[in-house]
């Protein structure tokens, strides 16, 4: 764990997806991983039309000290996008910090999208990887494993512990194997400076 740029620093993350992709679960798992490392965290969703396939946003805050904010995350340091078709919606990248990062479930080129968005952008085919490992199009575990590897905000072992609190049996075993696979294939720590800048 790198930790944050100044004492009491906080990182805010917004996760965008569609109903049925495990968007809210991703937020809760990330917050659980942070709490397991002795940090403070919040996770909560914002639903529009509550139906499968509808856009869903979830919010995560991670800090070294108790978190007093209770509003939605309007100016995230990082945006994680579970369905790349949501990129065209104005709310998806709204308020993203100028030095922030975007992670997208996509097979498109990271560098090209970095130029398009004017932000550090990392893409990976999370749906394909989840289908291969889990037999279901659930990109959340893939994206969280890659996010924590890029940022080193929390150890990947913390993600595994959080998953173990939520799942069991073969579901857990497949998810843990997927976490290892993704972490091994993701550049380690290349977003560390983004974390420091966002929490300064």
Per-residue pLDDT reduced to its tens digit, 23-58: 999 999 999 999 999 999 999 988 655 567 788 999
pLDDT at 6: 52
Does residue 137 form part of some domain? yes
Does residue 4 form part of some domain? no
Does residue 5 form part of some domain? no
- Asked whether the CA dihedral 8, 121, 107, 157 is positive or negative, the reply is negative
pLDDT at 50: 58
For the chain, the domain total comes to 1
Domain with 62 in it: what CATH number?
A: 3.40.920.10
pLDDT at 188: 96
For 3-17, the pLDDT digits (tens) are: 555 555 899 999 999
pLDDT at 163: 97
Asked whether the whole model's pTM tops 0.85, one would answer yes
pLDDT at 21: 87
For 85-117, the pLDDT digits (tens) are: 999 999 999 999 989 999 999 999 998 888 888
- Tell how far CA 190 is from the center of its chain: 15
Cα–Cα distance for residue pair 87/167, rounded to 1 Å: 30
User: What would the 3-class secondary structure string for the chain be?
Assistant: CCCCCCCCCEEEEEEEEECCCCHHHHHHHHHHHHHHCCCEEEEEEEECCCCCCCEEEEEEEEECCCCCCCCCCCCCCEEEECCHHHHHCHHHHCCCCCCCEEEEECCCCHHHHHHHHCCEEEEECHHHHHHHHHCCCCCHHHHHHHHHHHHCCCCHHHHHHHHHHHCCHHHHHHHHHHHHHHHHHCCCCCCHHHHHHHHC
- Asked whether the CA dihedral 122, 60, 81, 160 is positive or negative, the reply is positive
Does residue 162 form part of some domain? yes
The domain containing residue 179 runs over which residues?
10-199
For residue 1, pLDDT over 70 is answered with no
pLDDT at 115: 87
Tokens (6 digits) for 72: 């939605």
Does residue 110 form part of some domain? yes
Does residue 23 form part of some domain? yes
Does residue 3 form part of some domain? no
Does residue 111 form part of some domain? yes
For 139-187, the pLDDT digits (tens) are: 999 999 999 999 999 999 999 999 999 999 999 999 999 999 999 999 9
Confidence of residue 20 (pLDDT cuts 50, 70, 90): confident
pLDDT at 70: 85
């Amino acid at each position: 764990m790198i930790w944050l740029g100044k004492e009491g620093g906080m990182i805010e993350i917004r996760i965008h997806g569609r109903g049925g992709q495990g968007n809210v679960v991703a937020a809760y798992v990330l917050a659980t991983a942070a709490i397991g490392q002795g940090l403070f965290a919040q996770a909560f969703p914002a639903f529009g039309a509550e139906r499968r396939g509808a856009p869903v946003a979830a919010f995560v805050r991670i800090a070294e000290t108790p978190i007093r904010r209770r509003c939605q995350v309007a100016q995230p340091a990082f945006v994680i996008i579970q369905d790349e078709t949501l990129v065209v919606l104005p709310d998806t990248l709204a308020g993203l910090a100028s030095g922030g990062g975007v992670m997208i479930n996509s097979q498109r080129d990271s560098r090209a999208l970095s130029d398009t968005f004017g932000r550090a952008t990392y893409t990976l085919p999370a749906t394909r990887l989840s289908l291969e490992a889990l037999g279901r199009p659930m990109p959340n575990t893939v994206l969280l494993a890659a996010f924590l590897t890029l940022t080193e905000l929390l150890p990947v072992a913390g993600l595994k512990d959080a998953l173990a609190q939520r799942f069991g049996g073969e579901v857990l075993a497949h998810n843990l194997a997927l976490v290892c696979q993704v972490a091994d294939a993701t550049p380690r720590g290349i977003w560390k400076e983004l974390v420091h800048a966002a929490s300064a």
